[in-house]
């Protein structure tokens, strides 16, 4: 499957398809879900400080080995 991208106003490109973690509780399950998504090829995870789960998302990104 070929990934499509959206160009933002500043010229940066982001993958059009991503994983959202709104209302997903912080913790090991969130970290595992993000790690699994990254292994499957996801490169866009929508998170925010207001979701209160960015620590788990960040841990998954760090452990994934992806730049």
In the block, residue with structure tokens 């994934």: 64
The tokens describing 32, both together, are 């595992």
| pLDDT score of 15 more than 70 | yes
Catalytic (active-site) positions: 51
Identify whether the C-beta of residue 17 lies closer than 8 Å to the C-beta of residue 44: yes
* Mean pLDDT, range 11-30, rounded to an integer: 93
Residue 1's pLDDT is: 63
* Mean pLDDT, range 29-45, rounded to an integer: 94
* Mean pLDDT, range 35-46, rounded to an integer: 93
pTM: 0.81
- Mean per-residue pLDDT of the chain: 93
Percent of the chain with pLDDT strictly greater than 90: 90
């Amino acid at each position: 499957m070929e990934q499509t991208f959206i160009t933002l106003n500043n010229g940066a490109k982001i993958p059009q398809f991503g994983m959202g973690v709104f209302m997903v509780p912080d913790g090991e399950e969130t970290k595992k879900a993000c790690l699994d998504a990254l292994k499957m090829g996801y490169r866009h995870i929508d998170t925010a400080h207001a979701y209160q789960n960015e620590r788990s998302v960040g841990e998954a990104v760090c452990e994934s080995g992806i730049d």
